[in-house]
Amino acid sequence: MRKNKYIKLLEYLGIPNRWSRLNASYALESKIVSFEKIKNYYSTNVNGGIPDAIILEIAEIIANYQYDSYRNLWKEYPKSRKRYSIFDTKDLKNPFVYWKIMDYLKVAYTESYQEYACVILGVNKEILQKQEVYKGWYDIK
């Protein structure tokens, strides 16, 4: 009760209080906005090396994955809600995102998997093979 009176007094006087950071509410960015950011990111990086339909499919998969991750982290770490409220394209460099893309391309486009994966991830075939080995190590655990 005492804390509430103190906060009300500070708000009345227009003085920021030390609990304001914890009381700030940050809403999660929608999946549609995240999808658009991911689509634009991969569209600019690919420069026409992959059909737009594949980019849209990958953007949808990654948007769903990242939204679920952000939602869980947003709930689990309330002090970091500002970080997990808005999608950041630097998170697309995460190995789990690479592996999601690789898994999807392996299933959907078996014959041209390596070509598409190298273009969309911006790596050569040697690095792609190393990523597959790393994924194998992770999957074995």
Residue 24: pLDDT band with limits 50, 70, 90: low
Give the torsion sign (CA, 38, 123, 128, 117).
positive
The pTM of the full predicted model, rounded to 2 decimals, is: 0.74
Six-digit token string for 105? 């391309």
- The per-residue pLDDT for 1 is 47
Residue 96 CA to residue 68 CA, distance in Å, equals 13
Residue 133 CA to residue 98 CA, distance in Å, equals 13
Domain residue ranges in the chain = 28-140
CB distance 101 to 94 below 8 Å: no
Residue 105: pLDDT band with limits 50, 70, 90: very high
Q: Is 10 exposed, middle or buried (0-12, 13-18, 19+ CB in 10 A)?
A: middle
- The per-residue pLDDT for 135 is 81
